[in-house]
Amino acid sequence: MVVKVGDIVTRKSYQHDLIFRVHHINKGNVQLYGIEMRLQADAPMDDLEKITEPDLEIRQQKTKDKEEFSFRLFHQDYQLMREKKTYQVTKGYRHNTTQFQLPAKVLHIDGDPIYLRKCIMLYQRVGLHVHGIHLLEKDMPQEIGDLIERIQPDIIVITGHDAYSKNKGEKKDLRAYRNSKYFVEAVREARRMNPHLDQLVIFAGACQSHFESLIRAGANFASSPLRINIHALDPVYIAARIAYTPFMESVNVWEALRNTLTGEKGMGGIETRGLLRTGMPYIEEKEEDEEPDNEEDIVAF
């Protein structure tokens, strides 16, 4: 069997549990990137098996079903938060009052351009303004400072690929992880620029990342407490939960985690203030061919 870059494969030694995209081949050693999970792995050529088209379609449909369930769950929670906020703002009796919202600005830095495009589609679906940047994990610590100064984000997502290798050390040893050290350095640089946990909210990590080091470095949320794989879209749901929680309330960590496909085994975090600000009233601009009754009818936001 000939395997080439771009092929979709599984690993025989892991009972074909995950599907991967072949990223690089070097003298029979194949570098793999997870299709659904943010996992980077190496495997010998003879351990790989190309996935058939029917099997790939079945797996992808199952993944889409899981993703759609998570989206519906998040949307349901968002609607409840919105209704609660409307009641609080209007004191429960001015139901016809229109409001406007100032949601958070997200900077999403991703080591995988394919995952990044997929995440941006979800950000757009949940209505969040995002700046998506593809960077190799090793370049993130050097580049993140300039990005923060230029974009001025409220939320930063630092993610890509990662993996723990027991051959390199124990789980507590940061050197035993493929990219966790770069994520940690990037978080530290971001915190150097803004140390306030509620002014700049950070998610960091990927599959099997060193959770404790990321939290100590200053991340509000991170992966992976039990060193398991996380889904490609999990960081987006964490960011969205923070972005749509009113700034006078704290993000319930459990409620944030339950919107992810991985849950508390793959994601964790600390109590964090929400970032959504609501104002009122919202006044729509009149059409150009309409004459306003008086100057007070023209309101710009």
Question: Looking at the structure, do residues 156 and 31 belong to the same domain, yes or no?
Answer: no
Question: Looking at the structure, do residues 218 and 76 belong to the same domain, yes or no?
Answer: yes
Least confident among 26-35, 77-86, 147-156, 159-168: 77-86
Question: Looking at the structure, do residues 47 and 70 belong to the same domain, yes or no?
Answer: no
Specify if 57 maps to a domain.
no
Question: Looking at the structure, do residues 47 and 193 belong to the same domain, yes or no?
Answer: no
Specify if 292 maps to a domain.
no
Question: Looking at the structure, do residues 135 and 263 belong to the same domain, yes or no?
Answer: yes
Specify if 59 maps to a domain.
no
Task: Count the alpha carbons within 13 Å of 217 in the hemisphere toward its beta carbon.
Answer: 28
Question: Looking at the structure, do residues 86 and 29 belong to the same domain, yes or no?
Answer: no
Residue 248 pLDDT exceeds 90: no
Question: Looking at the structure, do residues 87 and 193 belong to the same domain, yes or no?
Answer: yes
Q: What is the mean pLDDT of residues 254-280?
A: 89
**78 vs 93, 132, 185, CA distance in Å?**
21, 23, 33
Which one, of 170, 162, 157, 260, lies nearest residue 208 by Cα?
Answer: 162
Here the tokens at position 126 are 């949940």
Specify if 286 maps to a domain.
no
This prediction has a pTM of 0.77
Specify if 118 maps to a domain.
yes
189 or 261, higher pLDDT: 189
Q: Which domain CATH number covers 224?
A: 3.40.50.2300
Question: Looking at the structure, do residues 19 and 138 belong to the same domain, yes or no?
Answer: no
Residue 289: Cβ within 10 Å count: 5
pLDDT digits (tens, 9 = 90+) for 83-126: 665 555 555 555 556 777 787 999 999 999 989 998 999 998 88
What contacts 252, CB < 8 A, 6 or more positions away?
none
Angstrom distance (rounded) from CA 90 to CA 112: 44
Which one, of 216, 208, 161, lies nearest residue 191 by Cα?
Answer: 216
Question: Looking at the structure, do residues 29 and 146 belong to the same domain, yes or no?
Answer: no
List the domain range (segments joined by +) for residue 267. Answer: 66-279
H-run or E-run covering 114:
helix 113-126
Q: What angle do CA 133, 189, 266 make, to 5 degrees?
A: 70
Q: What is the mean pLDDT of residues 164-186?
A: 95
Quickly state the pLDDT bin for 144 (edges 50, 70, 90). very high
Helix axes 234-243, 113-126, angle to 10 degrees: 30
Specify if 163 maps to a domain.
yes
What is the dihedral sign for C-alpha 188, 193, 197, 202? negative
Domain count, the chain: 2
Specify if 101 maps to a domain.
yes
Question: Looking at the structure, do residues 47 and 108 belong to the same domain, yes or no?
Answer: no
Specify if 298 maps to a domain.
no
Question: Looking at the structure, do residues 42 and 92 belong to the same domain, yes or no?
Answer: no
* 30 beta partners: 25, 43
Least confident among 80-89, 171-180, 229-238: 80-89
pLDDT of residue 288: 55
Residue 61 pLDDT exceeds 80: no
Question: Looking at the structure, do residues 224 and 148 belong to the same domain, yes or no?
Answer: yes
